[in-house]
Amino acid sequence: MAKKAVATLQKGAGKAYSKVIKMVKSEKTGAYTFVEEMVPNDMVNDYFKK
């Protein structure tokens, strides 16, 4: 199971978005990499369900 993290932005228009970081395991090598994205606050749960 990959670890997950969420950081919210506190100023200006950033309040509507969160920076999400998901750890993804490579199918080929088995190594983990981090994938960072800016996601609207209401879409955070959907992002981690993928």
Q: Which residues contact 11 (CB under 8 A, 6 or more apart)?
A: none
Tokens 């959907």 identify what position? 46
What is the mean pLDDT for each group of 10 consecutive residues in the chain (50 residues)?
A: 61 78 90 90 84
- Whether 10 and 1 have beta carbons less than 8 Å apart is answered as no
Letter for the amino acid at 25? K
pTM reported for the whole predicted model:
0.58
Tokens 């993290």 sit on residue: 5
Single out the residue of 3, 47, 49 nearest to residue 18, CA to CA. 47
Please give the pLDDT value at position 47. Answer: 83
Q: What is the DSSP letter of 47?
A: H
